[in-house]
Copies of this chain bind each other. A is one copy, B any other.
Amino acid sequence: MPTIDFTHDPATRSWVESAQGHPDFPVQNLPLGMFSSHGGKPCPGIAIGDKILDLRAVAPLLPADAAALLDLVTDDTLNALLGAGEGALRTLRHGVFALLTDTAQAEEVRPHLHAAVDCTMHMPVAVGDYTDFYSGIHHALNIGKQFRPDNPLLPNYKHVPIGYHGRSSSIRVSGEDVIRPVGQQKPEQDGGEPRFGPAARLDYEMEMAIWVGKGNALGHPVPIGEASQHIAGMSILNDWSARDLQAWEYQPLGPFLAKNFHSTVSPWIVTGDALAPFRMAQPDRPAGDPKPLPYLWDDEDQQTGAFAITMEVHLHTTRMRDAGDPPVRLSKGPMSAMYWTAAQLLAHHSVNGCNLRPGDLLGTGTLSDAEDATRGSLMEISEGGKHPLALPNGETRSFLKDGDEIIMTAYGDKAGAVRIGFGACRAIVRPAPAIGK
Given contacts A293-B196, A360-B169, A437-B223, contact A352 B245 (CB under 8 A): yes
Given contacts A353-B179, A435-B295, contact A253 B164 (CB under 8 A): yes
Across the interface, do A168 and B170 meet the contact criterion of CB distance under 8 Å?
no
Across the interface, do A167 and B354 meet the contact criterion of CB distance under 8 Å?
yes
A420 at interface by CB-CB < 8 Å: no
Work out how many copies of this chain go into the complex. Answer: 2
Contacting residue for A164 out of B131, B254, B261, CB 8 A = B254
A231 at interface by CB-CB < 8 Å: no
A290 to B194: give the CA distance in the assembly, Å: 10
Which B residues are in CB contact (< 8 Å) with A294?
Answer: 437
Across the interface, do B196 and A129 meet the contact criterion of CB distance under 8 Å?
no
Which B residues are in CB contact (< 8 Å) with A165?
Answer: 164-167, 256, 260
Residues 164-183 of A at the B interface (beta carbon under 8 Å) = 164-170, 172, 179, 181-183
A252 to B245: give the CA distance in the assembly, Å: 15
Across the interface, do A182 and B351 meet the contact criterion of CB distance under 8 Å?
yes
Across the interface, do B437 and A295 meet the contact criterion of CB distance under 8 Å?
yes
A298 at interface by CB-CB < 8 Å: yes
Across the interface, do A433 and B255 meet the contact criterion of CB distance under 8 Å?
no
Distance (Å) between the CB of A156 and the closest chain B CB? 6
Across the interface, do A355 and B169 meet the contact criterion of CB distance under 8 Å?
yes
Across the interface, do B196 and A295 meet the contact criterion of CB distance under 8 Å?
yes
Which B residues are in CB contact (< 8 Å) with A220?
Answer: 433
Contacting residue for A253 out of B134, B349, B354, CB 8 A = B134
A219 at interface by CB-CB < 8 Å: yes
Across the interface, do A169 and B252 meet the contact criterion of CB distance under 8 Å?
no
A190 at interface by CB-CB < 8 Å: yes
Across the interface, do B168 and A128 meet the contact criterion of CB distance under 8 Å?
yes
Contacting residue for A172 out of B159, B218, B224, B360, CB 8 A = B218
Given contacts A253-B134, A352-B183, contact A156 B224 (CB under 8 A): no
A224 to B436: give the CA distance in the assembly, Å: 9
Distance (Å) between the CB of A262 and the closest chain B CB? 7
A154 at interface by CB-CB < 8 Å: yes
A191 at interface by CB-CB < 8 Å: yes
Closest to A181 in B: B352
Which B residues are in CB contact (< 8 Å) with A252?
Answer: 154, 162, 250, 254
A225 at interface by CB-CB < 8 Å: yes
Given contacts A155-B191, A437-B298, contact A162 B261 (CB under 8 A): no
Given contacts A257-B354, A354-B167, contact A248 B160 (CB under 8 A): yes
Which B residues are in CB contact (< 8 Å) with A353?
Answer: 170, 179, 181-182, 261-262, 433
A393 at interface by CB-CB < 8 Å: no
Which B residues are in CB contact (< 8 Å) with A224?
Answer: 437
Across the interface, do A253 and B256 meet the contact criterion of CB distance under 8 Å?
no
12 A-B pairs with C-beta separation under 8 A: A128-B168, A129-B167, A165-B166, A170-B355, A182-B221, A184-B293, A221-B435, A223-B437, A224-B437, A245-B352, A257-B352, A297-B437
